[in-house]
Amino acid sequence: MITDATTAAWVHTAFAYAGMAVGAALWRRAMRQQQRGGALAPGNFGLLVGLLIGAAIGNKLVFLIERPDVALTMWRGGALMFPGQSIVGGLLGGLIGVEIAKKLTGQTRSTGDAMVLPIAIGLCIGRVGCFLAGLHDDTYGLPTSLPWGVDFGDGVARHPTQLYEIAVVLPLGLALHRARLPTPGLAFKLFLSAYLLWRFAVEFLKPVPVAYPLGLSGIQWTCLVALATYTPLVLRAWRRPPRLATP
């Protein structure tokens, strides 16, 4: 396990960018296989821009919801900082960015299903970096007496929540990628909903940096609000006949 803070930051960043690069490559291949002209085709390029901008904003925004103490420090200092990241924020922001891009470009086709496996694999690669970064990353779990607890450098066996996430997300992504679902876009909706449920649950195994009402973390409240908003769309897509499907 990496104990030096500088080395941990570099390793974590390297795995994060590697995950994004691999995910982007898989998405481009999926788009070519679906004969949509590749990622740089006019319509697809607009969606890619919306995805990147939305993910970048959501990434930082949800982190600051999770860590209002960091947001307060930034406000009091009057300085622009580059705070941490949130996968939940990146996914939700990317979703909103794509939907806005669709409205602006007049697209109505479903695009999310091609992103399921790339997101799952890219996320898992990034979580390897989180695991190696140990205590220098905020994704480690609470102390545990279970035999698979991991000492991240402080002599305390903790839940390896990063590995838990890999064990959940990779099979989920593969299963939905291979599933023959009746409605276009349903695979992505199910993936995002399942991931939000997973993140809400696994956060109980992590330290809570700042407690919100009911003792929940900012990530957990974000997941609950997102699920309350998104679940009706998932149910509607599940019940809708294929011929009436919309993105």
pLDDT reading at 50 higher than 80: yes
Domain with 49, as residue range(s), is 5-174
187 within domain boundaries: no
Strand partners, 132: none
| 182 is a domain residue | no
For residue 233 the two structure tokens come to 């769309």
Higher per-residue pLDDT: 71 or 126: 126
What average pLDDT does the segment 98-112 reach?
81
User: Is there a domain that residue 15 lies in?
Assistant: yes
Q: Would 163 be classed as within a structural domain?
A: yes
pLDDT tens-place string over residues 151-180: 998 899 999 999 999 999 999 999 999 988
With 70 as the cut, is the pLDDT of residue 1 above it?
no
Is the Cα torsion angle 163, 167, 168, 170 positive or negative in sign?
Answer: positive
Q: Which residues pair with 151 in a beta bridge?
A: 157
**In 10 A of CB 14, how many CB atoms?**
12
Residue 188 counted as domain residue: no
Q: Identify which has the larger pLDDT, 49 or 156.
A: 156
197 confidence band (pLDDT: 50, 70, 90): very high
Q: Which range (119-123, 138-142, 241-245) has the least confidence?
A: 241-245
Considering only residues 114 and 1, tell me which one the structure prediction assigns the higher pLDDT. 114
3 state SS of 23: helix
Q: What is the pLDDT of residue 243?
A: 47
* Assigned token pair, 198: 């997973």
Q: Please indicate, yes or no, if residue 153 is contained in any of the structural domains.
A: yes
Percent of the chain with pLDDT over 90: 38
CA distance 70 to 87: 18
Do the domain assignments include residue 40?
A: yes
Domain count along the chain? 1
Residue 113 domain flag: yes
Q: Tens of pLDDT along 77-102? A: 765 555 678 889 889 998 998 889 88
